[in-house]
């Protein structure tokens, strides 16, 4: 079993700062700290993010890991962080609110037959799959010797609490998973 841990969460995106969307953060941060997390966590959200998070941290003041804040100021912004391409786009709510399209890149396929053809020792295959160049004596093995072109990645689009706006359809186009949560009233 692979399992799951708080160490796998490296980025948290906030759509807006109504209580039902942000009040769980202190508990999550405390749980991450109690799980011995020390790696930084990136927080992305509308302008005012750091102020809002620091106010919530009154009940979680000491964390064993740093927080990195990215405050959105434009109608659309693209951020590359922790290996993800995150596109934030404004939607229509009664406060500033963003939706997100997240792209996860997918590397090329590993071809064991190419590794055998190039007489690459099997002990190096894993490192080559991870994108490393391996040197043994005078011999240099590079990932392009055994890995094909990058494959289509995964795209997830999420938006919430918005009136219908073009930005939602435009950003959801081609998504592998689209989550659109609505509000009433």
Tell whether the model's pLDDT for residue 185 goes beyond 60: no
What domains, with CATH codes, occur in the chain?
6-107+150-181 (3.60.15.10), 108-149 (no CATH)
What band does 60 get if pLDDT is binned at 50, 70 and 90? confident
Is residue 10 annotated as part of the catalytic site, yes or no?
A: no
What band does 183 get if pLDDT is binned at 50, 70 and 90? low
Query: What dihedral do alpha carbons 9, 41, 29, 43 form, nearest 10°?
Result: -100
Tell whether the model's pLDDT for residue 182 goes beyond 80: no
Give dist(CA 160, CA 146) in Å, integer: 43
Give dist(CA 43, CA 89) in Å, integer: 16
Catalytic residue, from 20, 36, 144, 176: name it: 20
CA distances from 24 to 13, 19, 55 (A): 13, 8, 13
Tell whether the model's pLDDT for residue 12 goes beyond 70: yes
Share of residues in the chain with pLDDT > 70 (%): 97
Determine the pLDDT at residue 58: 92
Determine the pLDDT at residue 22: 92
């Amino acid at each position: 079993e692979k399992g799951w841990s708080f160490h796998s969460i490296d980025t948290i995106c906030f759509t807006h700062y109504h209580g039902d969307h942000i009040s769980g953060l202190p508990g999550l941060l405390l749980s991450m700290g109690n799980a011995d997390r020390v790696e930084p966590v990136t927080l992305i959200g509308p302008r005012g993010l750091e102020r809002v998070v620091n106010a919530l941290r009154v009940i979680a003041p000491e964390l064993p890991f740093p927080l990195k804040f990215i405050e959105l100021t434009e109608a659309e912004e693209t951020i590359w962080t922790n290996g993800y391409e995150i596109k934030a786009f404004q939607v229509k709510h009664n406060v500033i609110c963003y939706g997100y399209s997240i792209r996860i890149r997918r590397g090329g396929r590993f071809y064991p037959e190419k590794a055998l053809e190039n007489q690459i020792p099997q002990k190096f295959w894993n490192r080559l799959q991870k994108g490393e160049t391996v040197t043994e004596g005078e011999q240099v093995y590079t990932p392009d010797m055994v890995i094909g072109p990058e494959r289509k990645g995964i795209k997830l689009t999420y938006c919430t609490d918005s009136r219908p706006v073009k930005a939602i359809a435009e950003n959801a186009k081609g998504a592998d998973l689209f989550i659109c949560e609505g509000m009433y009233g």
